[in-house]
Amino acid sequence: MLIQNITDIITHNYIVYSVFLKREVIVDCYYSEDYFNHSLISLLLINDGQDLRTMQFENILEKVYSSGNMEPVFCVGIHCSSDRKNEYGTANILDYKGRGAKAALYTKFVMEELIPFIRTTYNIISFKEKSFAGFSLGGLCALDIVWNYPNEFFKVGVFSGSLWWRDKDQEDEGFDEDTDRIMQRQVREGSY
């Protein structure tokens, strides 16, 4: 069902306490009440959700909906913390500087706290499909989560992703682009 003649995008802001991250996480939810059908709506999670406000995300959604080229989607902007370089990254492998130390906890927050919070708050039993997107390090994190949860997520959006994330300094002797970049190796060695 493509959407036409959208009226307004509704935005709700929440503070969700994460037991895993031991902090409050700000999330912004964007959707159109006109097309909020619990069985047909898809979920789009977006890292660095604080940037959606600057981008005037509501206006972007209204334009895309008005063009008739988009199906109903429930968007959730997840604000990052000041510890972004530790919460984002690859959950199972730290980079060569030890960054990404909380990425596994962030993944647990998304899967075990945030998605259930959204389902409960909006009375959604399941989504038509789930996708995850992010910019830079947030894109790497989104890709890592989608890659490791192929039965949960259908699509990923990586915008200028930090795919340079590596487990060996590029100045180290023996550094190899093909084997030391973490996400590329994970994709090459895995299956989706």
Q: Cα angle at 151 between 13 and 69, to 5 degrees?
A: 60
- The DSSP letter of residue 134 is E
Q: Taking the CB of residue 190, how many other CB atoms lie within 10 A of it?
A: 10
**CA distance linking residue 82 with residue 23, whole number of Å:** 11
Structural domain range at position 152? 10-189
CATH (domain of 173): 3.40.50.1820
User: Is residue 123 in a domain?
Assistant: yes
Q: To which residue do tokens 């060695």 refer?
A: 189
Q: Terminal CA-to-CA distance of the chain, rounded, Å?
A: 28
pTM of model > 0.85: yes
User: Is residue 29 in a domain?
Assistant: yes
User: Is residue 5 in a domain?
Assistant: no
User: Is residue 2 in a domain?
Assistant: no
- Report, as an integer, the average pLDDT of 56-79: 90
User: Is residue 4 in a domain?
Assistant: no
The answer for residues whose C-beta is within 8 angstroms of residue 29's C-beta and 6 or more apart is 11, 12, 13, 14, 74, 75, 76, 77, 118, 122
* Percentage of the chain modeled with pLDDT above 70: 93
Q: Taking the CB of residue 53, how many other CB atoms lie within 10 A of it?
A: 14
| Residues 151-183: tens digit of each pLDDT | 999 999 999 988 888 898 888 888 888 888 888
The token pair that represents 156 in the structure block: 């990923």
User: Is residue 19 in a domain?
Assistant: yes
Number of domains in the chain: 1
User: Is residue 176 in a domain?
Assistant: yes
Phi, psi of 101, deg, nearest 5? -65, -20
The token pair that represents 53 in the structure block: 């406000």
How sure is the predictor about 4, in pLDDT bands with cuts at 50, 70 and 90?
A: very low
| Residues 93-124: tens digit of each pLDDT | 989 999 999 999 999 999 999 999 999 999 99
User: Is residue 25 in a domain?
Assistant: yes
Please state, in angstroms and as integers, the Cα–Cα distance from residue 113 to each residue in 50, 109, 137, 141, following that order.
19, 5, 21, 17
